Amino acid sequence: MKIGVVGAGAWGTALAQVMAQGGDVLLWALEEDVVASINTHHVNDHYLPTIQLSPMIRATGDLADMAECDALLIVTPAQHVRATLGALPDSATPLILCAKGIEAGSGKLISQVVEEVRPQSPIAVISGPTFAHEVAAGLPTAVTLACADASLAEKLAARVARPTFRPYLSDDVIGAEIGGAVKNVIAIACGVAEGAGLGLNARAALISRGFAEMTRFGLALGAKAETLAGLSGLGDLVLTCSSTNSRNFSLGKGLGEGQSAADLLGNRRTVAEGASTAPVLRDVARKAGLEMPIVEGVCALLEGKVTLADMIDALLARPLRSE
């Protein structure tokens, strides 16, 4: 099974490196210099410069080349998935979604976007606690591989699994997606706590209550509780909320130190998905009548509607309630 990876950021490149252990991989990059760097020097200078890439990886800047692949990993930023899918060759090739977020405007999960744009393509999701540089370096990693088609799931798992990259199968596509989307927003809040010097107790509280918000939101949209408590939910949440290796945690840390959201987001080459997901998540939750106070606080801070002190005070002043 020849794998194509659509998106040559750090995560897409890391996934290509893992997939190359099992055969040829075609990696699509938007930037011409990234294509040249990978094909000439076997290094992605822009996004993963410390990793020597497998010679089994070939980069391309032409999405039409993806027609030769048997399955495609979609690793572009969530807000660009719809346009990217529309530019791919028309086929029924299985799509493995690795982007984490909710589409702005429509409020749709990425799998729902695929169902609109490419209804003929079977869908799977890879999500879990993964830092790209660790995956690319071959450090042990476990992920959720969610697919409603059990037969396809087994075929994909056999191709994806490597000695240090272990997929756990699930049929809960929605749950796997929601965990990956919500945790990015909670990670911004945890970064804020770090930057503001609020301590480890505060971070643990945010992770716990953030998980409650993730679960509340997920169950309302049809996710399974066990998926949200697994690798793609709680596992990813704990990792992302605990390290400056996370772009979302780093963004929050900058906010907690008093920097403006505009400056922090304007100076980034890579994407902090939580910043785009937060307002969409808030709006979907409001329409569903769901309380998500941490998400609300992150949105207000990103939008400049409250000061850091006001955000902290608002969360601490909420009425007492049962857990």
First to last CA, the chain: 47
242 vs 236: CA distance, rounded Å? 10
* Of the candidates 190, 227, 191, 232, the residue with the CA atom closest to the CA atom of residue 207: 190
241 vs 237: CA distance, rounded Å? 6
Catalytic annotation, pick one of 2, 100, 108, 183: 183
168: three-class secondary structure by DSSP:
strand
**Which DSSP state fits 196?**
T
Residue 281 to residues 59, 108, 112, 134, 298, Cα–Cα distance (Å): 34, 10, 15, 29, 11
230 vs 163: CA distance, rounded Å? 20
270 vs 179: CA distance, rounded Å? 21
262 vs 245: CA distance, rounded Å? 21
User: Helix (H) and strand (E) counts for the chain?
Assistant: 15, 8
154 vs 144: CA distance, rounded Å? 13
Q: At residue 125, what is the residue type? A: V
Residue 167 and residue 126 in contact, taking contact as beta carbons nearer than 8 Å? yes
Residue 49 to residues 36, 38, 126, Cα–Cα distance (Å): 14, 10, 24
Residue 63 and residue 29 in contact, taking contact as beta carbons nearer than 8 Å? no
Tell me, yes or no, if 108 is annotated catalytic: no
Residues belonging to the active site:
183
